Every structure is written in C-alpha cells, then in structure tokens.
C-alpha cells in the first residue's frame, strides 16, 4: 500500500457510509470516509429500523447502543394498515431517529479505525487499472487521494455516481408529500388519514414536537431547488384538514416525492454505489434507509476480502447481482405503495380490495416479509438446501448451543461454519480449515431440542448472516467455500495478528471454536534474524524454473540477499529440494513449489502451493518479486516445426508468464518487481529457433505494456535477454561446441547462470527502481555483432 492512500474510500458519512466503513474495518480493509458536511446531521429524515436491520445490528453487537427504542408492530402498505409481526427476535418496526443511528454507527466505525474526514467535497474521480484517484475540496484546500476502490454512499445526488458516469434511469417525482417537525402546536394525531382533499399524517413525539405530512390530491410535485417554506405546508394542511398550524415553530421542513431511479449497475470496475446513491425511492415506511444499510452489510465483507486478495474470483460481482435484485423489488413495492397512498378518489376501490386481501394471513406475511427485509433470499442453486441464500435462522445470542453459537464470529464480521454432532462432523470441520483466515468453525457439542434446523449436519454462514451452504457432504462444503474465499493455506490453529475486529468484541461464550485468525492489512512478516541481511531482507520471491540453470542461480542469489524464495519446478523435485537445502544451509530461506506450466490449471496449481508456502512462513500471501524464468527451447528448424511443438513453446514461454503475472498482481504490493526471461534471439538471427524466438518476442511485450499499467503502483517490469548460457544441455560438454559458442560473445566465453542471475537480482533490488519496461541485454556482448 505504499503508493495508494487506503484500500477503500467511502464517500458519504451518512448511516450507509458509516455502516460500510465499519464492515470494511471488520474485514481488515483500511478505509477513509470523505464527508461534505462539517458536522453530523441534525436532521432525522428516516426514523424506522425494520426487523432485518435490527437483526444485522444485533449480529454486530450494536443493539445495546440504541438503548430501548420504541417498537411499533403496526405498519402499513400504501397507507393500508398492516401488522409487520413475523418470527424474529426483533419483529416489527423500531423508532430510532436517524441522528441516533448515525451517531451509533459513526462511533463504531471510527472506533474500529475508519478514518473519517469531514468538510471534504468530492470534485473529481478517475479510474485506473489498479486504483482510483479521488479529488476533493477539503478544509485546507484541494486534496488528492488514491485507493483500490471507491464506494459512493453519498445519497440521491451522488457525486461519485455522476463523476464515475453511472446511468441512473427512472422518473422524476409526479406527486409529493410535504412535511415538517413543528413545535408548539396542539393538533390530533392522524395516521394516514384520507380526507376529501388529501392525505394527512400527524404524529406527536414524546418531546412535544409534532411531525406533520400532507399531500393534496391531484396536486403535481413541484420542481424544487430548496426545501419548501413552512407557509406552504401550513396552507396545504389547512386545505386538507381545516386546522391552522401557522402558530407553531417549524424545526425542520422537507418535501419528498415519488421519484424512482435505479442505477443499472452497482459496480463499474473499481467504483461501487450503495444506498440512495444506487437507488432513489420515496421513503415510504422507512424502507430506503434499511435498504441502504443492508447494501452496506452485503458489500463490506466482499469488498474487504477483494481489496485484501482473499476473495474468490467474482465475489465482488455478487454484490450487484444480489443487491440490485433486492433494490428492484423494493422499488417495485414502493411504487405500488406510492400509487395507493397518494392517489385520489380514483384509487379508493383498489385500496378497499387491497384491504380485504391483507386480511388473509399469507398475504399479510408476504407483504410484511417484503417491507421488513426478512424475506430476502440470495442466489442459490435450484437443488441447494432450502436454507441456502436465506438469513441464518435466528437464535438468541448466548444460547448454549445451536444457531446462537454463530453470533460470536458474526460479531467480528467473520464467516462461520456451524458443525452439529454427527458422523461427518470432523470431516466437515476439516473442510473449512483452508479458510481459517476468513471463516471460523464452531463445533456445537450438543444441540438443545429445537435448537437447530432439523437434519442439517452443517451450515456455512457468510459474514453478513446469510446461509452460503447447508448440508452434510464435505465436498459440497469445499465447493461452497471455493465460491466465497480463496484458500489461505493457514493452519486453523494459527493465532490472530493485529485485530481491528477485536475492538468490536469477541464472542463471550462460544462453544469450541477454532481461534479466529483476523485478517489484517499489514501482516507483520516474521523475519528470520539468522538469515543473511541483504538488500532483499523481508521480501518474498517466486522464481519459476528454479530447479536448474539460471532459475536456480537466481533463487540462490535472491536468497543470499535475504529474500524468502519460492523455488518453482516441474519435473525436477529432487533438484528443487537440493536448491532449497543449499539455500537453507547458507542461512537463507526457501521452499519448493511444483507446477507444470503450459497446461490447463497450471497457474492455479502454482499459486495454491505458493500462497500456502508464503502464508505458513510469513503469515501473508504477499509476493514482492516474480521472476518468470521457466522456459522450453526449440532446437527445431522451421520446416520441421509441428503445430504441437509451436503451441508448446508459446504455452510455456509466453502464455504461462502472462497468466502468472495476471494472477500474481493480486499478491504483489506496490513497489514490487517482475522480471521476464527472454533471449538474445529476439535480436540475433538463428533460423533454427524461429518459433522459440517468436515466443520470446511475445514475452518481451509484457514489459513494454505492463510497465505503463503498473507504474502508478511503483511496480517495475523488465525483460532480461541472456545469450548462450551454460545449462544441462549436452552441447556444453563438447569443447568444440563451447568454443564456437564462446566466439559469439565479446568476452569470448559462454554465459554462466550466475552472470544472468546477478542482473536479475539487480533488477529485483531497490537500486533498479527507475528501470521499467526495459530490455536488458544479458548476452555478454553477443548482440554487438
């Protein structure tokens, strides 16, 4: 993270931005929150938290901070009364002023380490391949920040959405409600009262302030550049109710219409949207805030895991898939409600039929599930267990067994595997061991009657509390884990290091859990003090084809400089083991990784072993230096070259380095080094090696083009082109051949592997920081002609 300022910039410190910031911190990501306002809002636009939001806050241990908010079981659908009671520890709707929610989430997120910067108005945003730049007007002048990702939580008029070019299709308001908080008026409470001239709502709060809302039937929404005057509300109120409220003192005045807009996508590369920035809707029944908070909880763990390189490929894209669909449904129900609520006499018949339908329990429960967010089910295979995609069947925190046991890990924002007693319990628990960095395993010793979903041996729960998998087949569990998190190779018993989540409180009385290993952004490397102190001390390196030749010499040289070296090989297991043993004998650190390159799945196999080896030794999967050295030679005349030989040369020499770099960039931090081994034959003609030289020509393109892409991260990438260099080829045992080959070099000898390794080691060092995109001639003057 040397050159970027943070993993994620969240724009907007409303409840959604703050919730997201806290979730990102729990996931281990570093966060800067930029907020235009100098101070927290004093407006309480939204005042309802629904059952699912309450459950989510409970999962994070945040409910205590709300005190004991009043509960209102009765809600409405477009003004038609509706009980919201459903099975949940927090059924119904809970009245919490937005300022209170914001204060709670702000304290939580900043307590976890989110860096909240007020007085910053975002003015510019630019996406780059590996980072995003954000410009803002700050209190001290212009500010420019960089991050891996940016999330717009900056509301309906989102600057992030506009600057990043997201489309926001929909329609403007056709009708509106105008509302005010008024002190010093004595008027009767009215609950969605439909009068001949319009709709009137009045609710007196405990502090004596009355919130009034009014809509005159048939009156079109106005174009507004500012909030309405109190006089306009007082006049509408009088027109509809006949009451005079002009003597009251307006504390807050606001208009909201039935405008409806929905971003077509919630993600464009490194920029994401959440909350009202992604969806604008009439705030009927407090759904808007709840929708936004749930966006944040869905996104936080996925984005943190992605920014830290722990996510399975595609995990972040599931945010759009899951939340856009939920948003589409909520916008649909709000649009239906707006018509029922603000329609004049023409909707009376519809309302009366609707009222009858709500009398049926299944209809009521269906609508209540929709409004409270309890009915959300995320994507699941059709043949998956019915619990998959649903929220964790809820249990009270602290219950001795069963589902309550999941709450401990969830409180720290981690995934959890609940394993119930049964014959496969050990195998199921073992399957999650490779994800100990992201998922805690809780083996429930005994389940009280009714304490778990009957017949489910294990449940995998995502950090946002939704069931990712349920069943009893360890292979199915492994497949489900593969969809969410990359294997971290960590031993499940490894301890935690640096612990932002710890501040959120650990489970008090969880049954036998594997100790949680909380991910951190900067896992301290365990530097072996007995290792030689060179210019690469504390760095990690992968050298492909290091069992022999120049690869071996490079591995040995990098290890001498203090790097921990992954010695890659394919067929030469004994040779690689010998290289590792030699390095260790000299006081260095190395481990061997096997993978045949140029075959399907090669890169996956390589990185599985590499990451496991790195994680075991350093606690992290960070890779500082990549040397793409493995290669196959040709030695066939062009007229004899078969398509299969040609494909093989390209697969090993060009395709594998391309995809190794693609994959390695998730592990290479800023300031990293990439060296690709080419050949002098891209400049020196040898007709016997045309196809080979073509493959080396291809590999040289990596340095040219990637150098530009990776410059902003201070990662250098260069090609090193050896000339004829001694290796195991029997040619080097023939003195006449060696003499002939020597004559090609200005030094009148063939190259030795160490001649080239020293050049590679230089390019890997800090001294070479100013060289990138370069072709380095390592032919001993062969190209001089």
Residues interacting with ligand 2V4, by CB under 6 A? 633, 635, 679-681, 684, 686, 689, 722-724, 729, 744, 779, 782
Stretch that binds ligand NAP, among 17-25, 441-449, 569-577, 580-588 (CB under 6 A): 569-577
Is 134:9 a contact under the CB 8 Å cutoff?
Answer: yes
Stretch that binds ligand NAP, among 36-44, 362-370, 611-619, 623-631 (CB under 6 A): 623-631
Rank residues 629 and 716 by Cβ distance to ligand NAP and give the closer one.
629
Is 185:195 a contact under the CB 8 Å cutoff?
Answer: no
Selection from ligand NAP, ligand 2V4, none that 133 binds (CB < 5 to 8 A by kind) is none
Residue 14: closest CA among 243, 230, 291, 284: 291
Selection from ligand NAP, ligand 2V4, none that 438 binds (CB < 5 to 8 A by kind) is none
State in angstroms the smallest separation of the CB of 28 from ligand NAP: 34
Can residue 722 be called a binding residue for ligand NAP (CB under 6 A)? yes
CA distance 160 to 679: 47
Rank residues 197 and 549 by Cβ distance to ligand 2V4 and give the closer one.
549
Q: Which of 61, 472, 572, 657 binds ligand NAP (CB under 6 A)?
A: 572
The number of angstroms, rounded, from the C-alpha of 737 to the middle of its chain's C-alpha atoms is 57
Can residue 274 be called a binding residue for ligand NAP (CB under 6 A)? no
Strand bridging mode 279-280 / 260-262 = antiparallel
The CA-atom distances, in angstroms, between 671 and each of 546, 710, 713 are 23, 9, 6
Selection from ligand NAP, ligand 2V4, none that 306 binds (CB < 5 to 8 A by kind) is none
Q: Which of 37, 162, 548, 663 binds ligand NAP (CB under 6 A)?
A: 548
Can residue 632 be called a binding residue for ligand NAP (CB under 6 A)? yes
State in angstroms the smallest separation of the CB of 616 from ligand NAP: 22
What single-letter DSSP state applies at residue 771? Answer: -
Residue entry with tokens 């010093």: 184
Selection from ligand 2V4, ligand NAP, none that 513 binds (CB < 5 to 8 A by kind) is none
The CA-atom distances, in angstroms, between 629 and each of 307, 333, 553, 613, 728 are 29, 59, 11, 20, 15
Selection from ligand NAP, ligand 2V4, none that 635 binds (CB < 5 to 8 A by kind) is ligand 2V4
Helix ranges (H only) for 343-418 are 348-358, 361-372, 407-411
Stretch that binds ligand NAP, among 155-163, 326-334, 506-514, 590-598 (CB under 6 A): 590-598
State in angstroms the smallest separation of the CB of 678 from ligand 2V4: 8
Rank residues 512 and 662 by Cβ distance to ligand NAP and give the closer one.
662
- In the chain, DSSP finds a helix count (H) and a strand count (E) of 20, 32
Can residue 629 be called a binding residue for ligand NAP (CB under 6 A)? yes
State in angstroms the smallest separation of the CB of 685 from ligand 2V4: 9
Stretch that binds ligand NAP, among 11-19, 279-287, 337-345, 570-578 (CB under 6 A): 570-578
State in angstroms the smallest separation of the CB of 630 from ligand 2V4: 13
Can residue 725 be called a binding residue for ligand NAP (CB under 6 A)? yes
Burial 710-726 (b: 16+ CB within 10 A, else e): bebbebbbbbbbbbbbb
State in angstroms the smallest separation of the CB of 633 from ligand 2V4: 4
Ordered DSSP codes for 112-172: TT-EEE-S-EEEEEEE-SS-EEEEEEETTEEEEEEEEEEEE---TT-HHHHHHT----EE-
Strand bridging mode 71-72 / 6-11 = unpaired
Ordered DSSP codes for 168-188: --EE--SSEEEEEEEES----
Selection from ligand 2V4, ligand NAP, none that 744 binds (CB < 5 to 8 A by kind) is ligand 2V4
Q: Which of 93, 388, 547, 716 binds ligand NAP (CB under 6 A)?
A: 547
State in angstroms the smallest separation of the CB of 688 from ligand 2V4: 7
Residue 163: closest CA among 131, 136, 194, 185: 136
State in angstroms the smallest separation of the CB of 550 from ligand NAP: 4
Rank residues 609 and 750 by Cβ distance to ligand 2V4 and give the closer one.
750
Stretch that binds ligand NAP, among 187-195, 245-253, 556-564, 567-575 (CB under 6 A): 567-575
Rank residues 83 and 742 by Cβ distance to ligand NAP and give the closer one.
742
Cα within 13 Å of Cα(569), Cβ side: 20
CA distance 484 to 471: 17
The number of angstroms, rounded, from the C-alpha of 343 to the middle of its chain's C-alpha atoms is 42
Is 565:583 a contact under the CB 8 Å cutoff?
Answer: yes
How many chain residues interact with ligand NAP (CB under 6 A)? 27
Rounded to a whole number of angstroms, the CA Rg of the chain reads 32
Rank residues 150 and 721 by Cβ distance to ligand 2V4 and give the closer one.
721
Residue 404: closest CA among 503, 511, 513: 511
Instruction: Enumerate residues 660-679 that contact ligand NAP by CB under 6 A.
Output: 677, 679
The CA-atom distances, in angstroms, between 200 and each of 211, 352, 521, 629 are 11, 19, 53, 76
Strand partners, 75: 82
Is 583:589 a contact under the CB 8 Å cutoff?
Answer: yes
- As given in the structure block, the two tokens for residue 695 are 């493959």
Selection from ligand NAP, ligand 2V4, none that 278 binds (CB < 5 to 8 A by kind) is none
Selection from ligand 2V4, ligand NAP, none that 412 binds (CB < 5 to 8 A by kind) is none
Stretch that binds ligand NAP, among 334-342, 426-434, 613-621, 719-727 (CB under 6 A): 719-727
What single-letter DSSP state applies at residue 229? Answer: P
Is 477:417 a contact under the CB 8 Å cutoff?
Answer: yes
Selection from ligand 2V4, ligand NAP, none that 134 binds (CB < 5 to 8 A by kind) is none
Where do contacts with ligand NAP occur on this chain (CB under 6 A)? 545-551, 569-572, 596-598, 629-633, 652, 677, 679, 722, 724-725, 727-728
């Amino acid at each position: 993270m040397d050159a970027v300022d943070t993993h994620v910039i969240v724009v907007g410190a409303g409840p959604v931005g703050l919730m997201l910031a806290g979730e990102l911190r729990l996931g281990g990501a570093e966060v800067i929150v930029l907020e235009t306002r100098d101070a927290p809002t004093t407006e309480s636009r939204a005042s309802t938290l629904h059952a699912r939001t309450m459950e989510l806050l409970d999962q994070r241990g945040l409910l205590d901070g709300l005190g004991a908010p009043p509960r209102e079981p009765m809600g409405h659908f477009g003004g038609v009364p509706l009980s919201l009671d459903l099975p949940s520890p927090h059924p119904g709707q809970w009245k919490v002023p937005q300022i209170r929610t914001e204060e709670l989430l702000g304290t939580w997120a900043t307590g976890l380490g989110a860096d909240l910067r007020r007085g910053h108005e975002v003015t510019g945003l630019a996406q780059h391949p590996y980072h995003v730049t954000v410009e803002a007007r700050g209190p001290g002048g212009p500010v420019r920040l960089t991050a891996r990702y940016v999330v717009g939580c900056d509301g309906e008029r989102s600057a992030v959405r506009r600057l990043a070019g997201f489309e926001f299709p929909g329609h403007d308001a056709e009708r509106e409600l105008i509302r005010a908080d008024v002190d010093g008026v004595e008027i009767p409470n009215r609950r969605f009262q439909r009068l001949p001239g319009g709709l009137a709502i009045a609710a007196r709060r405990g502090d004596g302030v009355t919130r009034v809302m009014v809509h005159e039937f048939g009156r079109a929404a106005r174009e507004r550049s500012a909030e309405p005057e109190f006089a306009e509300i007082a006049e509408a109120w009088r027109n509809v109710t006949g009451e005079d409220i002009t003597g009251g003192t307006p504390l807050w005045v606001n208009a909201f219409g039935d405008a409806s807009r929905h971003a077509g996508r919630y993600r464009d590369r490194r920029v994401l949207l959440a909350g009202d920035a992604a969806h604008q809707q009439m705030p009927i029944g407090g759904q808007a805030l709840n929708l936004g908070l749930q966006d944040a909880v869905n996104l936080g763990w996925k984005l943190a895991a992605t920014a830290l390189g722990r996510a399975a490929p595609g995990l972040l894209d599931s945010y759009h898939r899951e939340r856009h669909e939920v948003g589409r449904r909520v916008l649909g129900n709000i649009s239906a409600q707006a018509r029922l609520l603000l329609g004049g006499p023409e909707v009376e018949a519809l309302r009366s039929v609707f009222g009858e339908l709500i009398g049926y329990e299944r209809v009521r429960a269906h609508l209540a599930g929709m409004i409270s967010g309890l009915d959300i089910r995320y994507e699941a295979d059709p043949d998956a267990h019915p619990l998959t995609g649903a929220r964790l069947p809820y249990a009270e925190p602290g219950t001795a067994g069963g589902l309550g046991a999941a709450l401990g890990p969830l409180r720290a924002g981690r995934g959890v595997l609940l394993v119930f007693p049964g014959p496969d319990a050990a195998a199921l628990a073992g399957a999650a061991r490779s994800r100990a960095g992201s998922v805690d395993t809780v083996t429930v010793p005994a389940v009280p009657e009714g304490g778990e979903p009957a017949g489910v041996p294990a449940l995998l729960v995502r950090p946002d509390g939704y069931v990712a998998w349920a069943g009893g087949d360890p292979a199915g569990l492994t497949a489900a884990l593969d969809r969410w998190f990359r294997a971290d190779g960590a031993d499940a018993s490894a301890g935690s290091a640096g612990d932002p989540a710890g501040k959120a409180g650990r489970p008090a009385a969880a049954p036998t859990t594997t100790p949680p290993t909380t991910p951190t952004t900067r896992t301290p490397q365990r530097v072996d003090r007995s290792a030689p102190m060179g210019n690469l001390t504390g760095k990690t390196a992968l050298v492909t084809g290091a069992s022999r030749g120049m690869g071996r010499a490079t591995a040995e040289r990098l290890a001498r400089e203090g790097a921990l070296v992954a010695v890659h090989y394919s067929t030469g297991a004994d040779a690689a083991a010998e290289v590792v043993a030699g390095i260790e004998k000299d006081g260095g650190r190395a481990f061997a990784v096997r993978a045949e390159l140029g075959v399907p799945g090669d890169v996956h196999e390589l990185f599985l072993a590499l990451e496991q080896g790195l994680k075991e030794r350093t606690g992290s999967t960070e890779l500082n230096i990549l040397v793409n050295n493995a290669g196959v030679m040709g030695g066939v005349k062009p007229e004899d070259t078969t398509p299969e030989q040609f494909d093989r040369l390209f697969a090993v020499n060009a395709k594998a380095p391309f995809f190794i770099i693609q994959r390695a960039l998730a592990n290479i931090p800023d300031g990293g080094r990439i060296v690709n081994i080419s050949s002098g034959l891209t400049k020196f003609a040898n007709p016997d090696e045309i196809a080979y030289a073509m493959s080396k020509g291809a590999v040289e393109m990596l340095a040219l083009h990637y150098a530009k892409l990776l410059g902003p991260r201070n990662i250098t990438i260069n090609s090193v082109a050896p000339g004829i260099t001694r290796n195991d080829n029997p040619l080097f045992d023939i003195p006449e051949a060696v003499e002939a080959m020597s004559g090609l070099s200005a030094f009148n000898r063939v190259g030795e592997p160490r001649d080239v390794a020293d050049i590679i080691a230089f390019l890997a060092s800090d001294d070479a920081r100013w060289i990138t995109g370069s072709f380095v001639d390592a032919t001993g003057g062969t190209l001089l002609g």
